[in-house]
Structure 1
Amino acid sequence: MESKMNKKYEENGKLKSWSEINKERKRKRKEYKEKALENKRMKEMEKEKDVKQNEKIKSDTEEIKEISTLSIALPGSILENAQTEELRTYLAGQIARSACLYQVDEIIVFDDYGDEEKIKTSSIDDDFGLKTVRQSCGQLARILQYLECPQYLRKHFFPIHRDLKYSGLMNPLNAPHHLSSKDQFEYREGVVTSKPIKEGKGSIVYIGLRQDAHVDKLLVEGSRCTVKLDTKTIDTKKLKGVVVNPEAPRKTTGVYWGYKVRLAKTLSQIFSQCPYKDGYDLSIGTSDKGSSIDSFECPSYKHLLVVFGGVQGLEFALENDQTLKETEPELLFDSYLNALPSQGSKTIRTEEAILITLAGLRSKLNPKFPPTVFKGSDDANSSASANETIEKVNESTEKADEMSRFD
């Protein structure tokens, strides 16, 4: 009688002994283990490759020189001079447009009435936390933030609010970072989604494309971030990128990447709460009582601040600030300028003063660290240079049929 080991067993129509079957199973197990080890090795190599690629992208981004900045400050009370809510909204939109045209990096909205009692207040979150301010200041800041935000992100950061009721009346900024789904650029603004992802694999960010981006860092859900895309993965199944500093696009490519909004409760807080380490090294006040802008010679600066007064001028703001001891506003600034000598009207509105002053200063500015010039652009100071270059990259930045009045 045959032993169990030599017993014949029919497999796939062929007779095999148990010893042959066991040998075959051992061989398959060995092949499976070798294949598993190879797959593990390949995954580790791919992970190392991704880490190196991310480090390369980061190093390319981090190796950027410092650039000089331009900040403007204006009182939120100018909205109270508008007769209707529609006019208030449109006025705020004009200010946002002016800031975008002249590539302003920071807009400070301050309260020139100081600490008044029994006033209507509004709570708003700027880059430095939640603040409670005068209603007109809050409304102006909210509209400025809304217009700066790319269109595809607005529903994530701006719920329905009375301050944005007439946002459809405002003209779109058409800023370079307001990219449509058809535009191609290495940087994009995005919002962190709640989509599940394996631990240690970073986050998934919605960047206005059909395909979300996988980034290297674990971020808080719902937060806004700037993503530098890995161009090699744009046409692949998995779009990858790294999270970079919001200033990186401007510093590395020269593209104007929008402005930040900061709230100040008094005139003195414009200076005391400056986000730059060494403060503003050049400050300019504007008034019809100042010296002519025509004779102004701009010194070299790192961070420039231009301050505009409201209906009653900077004198009114200084009078209501209990912190400042100066009696004349010109003592607060390095230069005190009249942007339009021999003006035809008795008064110049703040939104007009912003355009007039920035236009007058444009050819006189002397930044210590000028922004990078876009490739293909010959004029470093041209406010249209960034737009012209990104149009060459995208070929379709302005699609009127895709951009509504709420843009």
Structure 2
Amino acid sequence: MTQSALVPSSLCREAEDKREATRKIGYVARAATVFRVDRLIVYPDPDGAGRWGDGFVETVLRYAATPPYLRKEVWDRRDELECVGVLPPLRVATQTGSGSDDSGSLRQGIVTEVGSDGRVRVNCGMQHPISLAVPGDRTIREGERVTVRISSRRPVRAKIVDQPPPGYQVDRANLDAALSRPDAGVRIAASRHGQSLTTERLGRLVGTIASAGDMTVAFGAPERGLPAILGVEPGAVDPCTVDELAAAVDAAERNDETVTGSGSDGPRFDLWLNTVPNQGSEVVRTEEAMFATLGPLTLTE
């Protein structure tokens, strides 16, 4: 199952300074890590950008996702990273296998040297860069990030594998493109104008997401929710209910098709969902909405 979360480039629009903005992005990174989001996509919101540059959110998210042992190697000094000392540690859980030749933990590495003998030297957080064979069907360049499976540290036994590293990946795309991905799955707009999530609906929705196989959840910005970003009236959002979505997914499964959204909201969402139906604050911040939404939606049956 692939889980994607979409956040706007304007998610720091209300932050008073770069330190506060960086901390806010850190909480978004924490939410993505805690709930095992595979892909964080930053979509543009030029009308709500505020004082922060267009690439600020994306840059800080990428930095946060970089393992500490690689940050010095990957990142030079940049204005966007001036306050990254306030970022909370992600402590990404390593993916570990057992009982096979491929057992071991996955780590990110960066290629520091390419040899002429089909081998490369990779910095992956060991005491020194290690020499690894390049898989036969790959061309690897100096500076490229790779995934390394380490099965033993003493002696060192490791190999480059064709798997995504632990943690989330960061992409940049507009909403239409992000929602049109083949692995978008069930596309949910998190909004206070959506259908309220209840205990009765939750079980049906979790089962529907499991049947679809993938999930994409889009979030808005503080005081600028998805209807405002999309330029639509709150009353014009897609009226699809959880029961209707479940029926649509069932029908798509029977016909071997992809579930498609409906309504006039521009980008096609399958469901508008309010996961904080009794909010006690006038504004739910993006990072708060991520915890409130991804928590129930990633429950298992």
Q: TM-score range with shorter-chain normalisation?
A: 0.7 to 0.9
Among 264, 282, 297, the residue aligned to 1:361:
297
Matches within 5 A, 1:3-402: 68-113=1-46, 136-177=53-94, 186-194=105-113, 197=115, 199-217=116-134, 219-229=140-150, 231=152, 234-236=153-155, 239-247=156-164, 257-264=166-173, 266-272=174-180, 274=181, 278-294=182-198, 295-296=201-202, 297-298=204-205, 299=208, 300-310=211-221, 311-319=223-231, 328-329=264-265, 332-363=268-299
Is the 1:112–1:316 Cα contact (8 Å) retained in structure 2? no
Letter in 2 for 1:351: E
Letter in 1 for 2:172: L
Instruction: Give distance in 1, aligned partners of 2:70 and 2:149.
Output: 17
Instruction: Give distance in 2, aligned partners of 1:214 and 1:230.
Output: 15
* CA apart distance, 1:341: 1.1
Change (3 A) 1:157 1:211: closer
* CA apart distance, 1:153: 0.5
| 5+ long unaligned stretches in structure 1 | 1-67, 121-133, 179-184, 250-256, 321-325, 367-407
Equivalent residue, structure 2, for 1:60: none
Change (3 A) 1:87 1:270: same
Is the 2:191–2:225 Cα contact (8 Å) retained in structure 1? yes
Three-state SS of the structure 2 residue aligned to 1:220 is: coil
Is the 2:109–2:147 Cα contact (8 Å) retained in structure 1? yes
- Runs of 4 or more consecutive aligned structure 1 residues displaced over 3 Å after TM superposition: 134-137, 326-331
Instruction: Give distance in 2, aligned partners of 1:228 and 1:343.
Output: 44
Three-state SS of the structure 1 residue aligned to 2:177 is: helix
Instruction: Give distance in 1, aligned partners of 2:149 and 2:271.
Output: 39
Over alpha carbons, which structure has the higher Rg?
1
Note the aligned Cα RMSD (angstroms): 2.8
Is the 2:176–2:267 Cα contact (8 Å) retained in structure 1? no
Letter in 2 for 1:71: S
Three-state SS of the structure 1 residue aligned to 2:80 is: helix
Instruction: Give distance in 1, aligned partners of 2:35 and 2:105.
Output: 23
Change (3 A) 1:176 1:281: closer
Give the number of aligned pairs: 253
Instruction: Give distance in 2, aligned partners of 1:230 and 1:319.
Output: 52
Deviations for 1:149-182, whole angstroms, at most 9, x for unmatched residues?
Answer: 111101111110011100111111111249xxxx
Letter in 2 for 1:341: P
Letter in 1 for 2:279: Q
Is the 1:112–1:267 Cα contact (8 Å) retained in structure 2? no
Is the 1:267–1:317 Cα contact (8 Å) retained in structure 2? no
Deviations for 1:294-331, whole angstroms, at most 9, x for unmatched residues?
Answer: 124221122200011123211122229xxxxx874398
Instruction: Give distance in 2, aligned partners of 1:271 and 1:330.
Output: 11
* CA apart distance, 1:332: 2.2
Change (3 A) 1:94 1:139: same
Q: Percent identity?
A: 29
| 5+ long unaligned stretches in structure 2 | 96-103, 233-261
Three-state SS of the structure 2 residue aligned to 1:109 is: strand
Higher helix share: 1
Three-state SS of the structure 2 residue aligned to 1:280 is: coil
